[in-house]
Amino acid sequence: MIGKISALVGVLAVSVVAGVSLGPVSIPFGQTAELLHAAITGGVISAADAGQYHIVWDIRLPRVLLAAVVGAGLATVGVAMQAMVRNALADPYVLGISSGASVGAIAVATLGVLPSLGVYAMSVGAFTTALGASVLVYLTARTNRGLAPLKLVLTGTALGYGFSAIAMLLVFQAPRGDASRAAMLWLLGSLGGASWQSLPVAAFVTAGGIVHLLTKARPLNALAMGDETATTLGVPVQRLRTHLFLVTAAMTGVLVAVSGAVGFVGLMLPHLTRMVVGADHRKVLPLVPLAGASFLVWVDVAARMLAAPEELPLGVITAALGVPCFVFLMRRKAYVFGGR
């Protein structure tokens, strides 16, 4: 297990440097590493390298780090969500939170809401409506016995369709074509607005959520086997499910606010990780954030380079990779949800 973690840490480190190096204007890998080392250690940058330093430090590095944070967070939330609702198709967006966030983000893009917040308006708008969607889903799905998995999924799906309809109506009635394009790009996921200012909150919430979920690995193992089994093992099922709902909703809301709705990461990476280490959450949870982070860094590289100088939405690439992956899993007789 230590070896797998070390290997993935190494892969992530290489992915970050490569992600900074690659782009429409490529910078040699070695030079990128030197510029990053100089920036971190306070080294001197020559005047000839000032332009490349600006690209590396001010433009690409915050974007690559945000891609790693979003990938790690979505993959981890996907693991927790699949155990929480005991559904192999669950992902961070199954509760309708991303659809709720889209209403706020698109309202900013098409109607000019929250103009005083400037570049932060879309993220704040998305997080605000994501929070509202989380509260609405919780209040609608909650019963006297707590949160039932099936009702939670059905409620999130139904409300998600409603939020999506509102978002599409806002796009349809947008007075400007460029606003509609910005809204659609956000709906499919984009890190084009990444900056050093947008990184700290997402990184803090994601890191805190991942560490917290790691402490819940044993209860998640029990919960994945069913409520009755978990109860006999001494797990307070309803309290745990409510707790998981709050943590995953907060993480999803923050991540969607900074990157849009990037699909398939939280659905695909948990299954791929289980294929390698099995269903034990004590093994899955330490690995899946590293795998998700590396994966989305390379997806973002592809998004920047495949149609340069234009950018492809992240969701287009994750879907292109995710659909064949799931067809492979469905055809693999040895694979079942949660293990080999």
Instruction: Give per-residue pLDDT as tens, 69-100.
Output: 999 999 999 999 988 888 877 888 888 888 88
Q: Is the pLDDT of residue 337 over 60?
A: no
What share of the chain has pLDDT > 90, as a percent?
Answer: 28
Every domain of the chain and the residues it spans: 2-331
Q: Which residue has the tokens 């992902």?
A: 91
User: If 0-12 CB within 10 Å is exposed, 13-18 middle and 19+ buried, where does residue 37 land?
Assistant: exposed
* The pLDDT value given to residue 177: 62
Interatomic CA distance for residues 325 and 335, integer angstroms = 12
* The pLDDT value given to residue 332: 67
Q: Would you tell me how many other CB atoms lie within 10 Å of the CB of residue 25? A: 12
Amino acid letter, residue 161 = Y
Task: Identify the architecture of domain 2-331 in CATH.
Answer: Orthogonal Bundle (1.10)
* The pLDDT value given to residue 285: 94
* The pLDDT value given to residue 225: 84
Each residue's pLDDT tens digit, 239-280: 898 889 889 888 988 898 888 888 889 888 998 898 888 889
Local confidence band at 173 (pLDDT 50, 70, 90 cut-offs):
confident
pLDDT, averaged across the chain: 86
Each residue's pLDDT tens digit, 120-141: 787 888 888 888 888 898 888 8
* The pLDDT value given to residue 335: 57
Q: Which residue has the tokens 């609405």?
A: 136
Each residue's pLDDT tens digit, 270-323: 988 988 888 899 999 999 999 999 999 999 999 999 887 888 899 999 999 888
Residue 50: CB partners within 8 Å, gap ≥ 6?
none
> 339 or 235: whose pLDDT is higher?
235
Interatomic CA distance for residues 266 and 80, integer angstroms = 10
* The pLDDT value given to residue 293: 96
Q: Is the pLDDT of residue 336 over 70?
A: no
Q: Is the pLDDT of residue 339 over 50?
A: no
Token couple for 24 = 């429409």
* The pLDDT value given to residue 340: 41
Q: Is the pLDDT of residue 49 over 80?
A: no
- Centroid of chain to Cα 66: 10
- Centroid of chain to Cα 126: 14
Query: What 8-state DSSP symbol labels residue 115?
Result: G
